[in-house]
Amino acid sequence: ENDSDLENDDERRNKLVFLSLESFSHAVEADPSQGALWTQLGLLSLAEGDYAKAEQCFRTAAQRDPSLVAAWCNLGIALQLSNKSSEACHMYVKSLSRFKDAHQVYNNLGNLYRHLGKLPEALSAYQRCSELREDYAILHNNLGLLHITTGCFDQASASFQRALQIDPAMDCAKSNAFKLDLLRAGKVRVEDGMVS
């Protein structure tokens, strides 16, 4: 591809994002009671890196429809991405008191604990996620990252392979498995980063 093709792709993407944000904003104005619409608007804002707006949308979604697991789960993500770790942790724990079988919340709580260096807590959250949904590919990718952090490279490799067995197209697991091979060969360091 040449530069003009990339610029055209960026322009098309930006236009689609703008139209999507505009459409969901109008839908929310037309019926502000619909938590699912607020959740979708929050997801778009999250994808655009507007974490404050995403947080506001997910809070509104959870207020409008407290049964929406996605609103609660994504509120935790927005808080985490805004570097509000203690609030994110509180939100995940609060979500789990409401939705005891929400595997995705356990996965996200595990990610938060891993980033905070609370590795036993991260492992516990990931294990609970696995008990609820063993075939959750992103969980196995995240477990692989945890195993790298603890120096358990064989377990990390097995986790990335399990993720790819579940979802052969999972780019982050492919990248992490490749980086793990480089790490084992001494060609990169853990600090060079893996893909969450």
Average pLDDT, the chain: 90
User: How much is the average pLDDT of 47-53?
Assistant: 93
**Distance from C-alpha of 73 to C-alpha of 3, rounded to nearest angstrom:** 38
- Report the alpha-carbon distance of residue 49 to residue 55 in Å, rounded: 11
The pLDDT score that the predictor gives to residue 23 is 76
Residue boundaries of the structural domains of the chain: 9-90, 100-187
Secondary structure letter of residue 100 according to DSSP? T
The pLDDT of residue 6 is 58
Q: Hey, do 9-90 and 100-187 end up sharing a CATH topology, with the first three levels equal? A: yes
Q: What is the pLDDT of residues 68-92, one digit of tens each?
A: 999 999 999 999 999 999 999 999 9
Q: What is the pLDDT of residues 2-38, one digit of tens each?
A: 555 656 777 787 777 677 777 767 677 777 788 888 9
The rounded distance, in Å, linking the Cα atoms of 136 and 123 is: 15
User: In one letter, which amino acid is 171?
Assistant: D
| CATH class for the domain made up of 100-187 | mainly alpha
Find out whether 171 and 144 touch, Cβ atoms under 8 Å: no
> Quick one: pLDDT at residue 156?
98
Per CATH, the number for 9-90 is 1.25.40.10
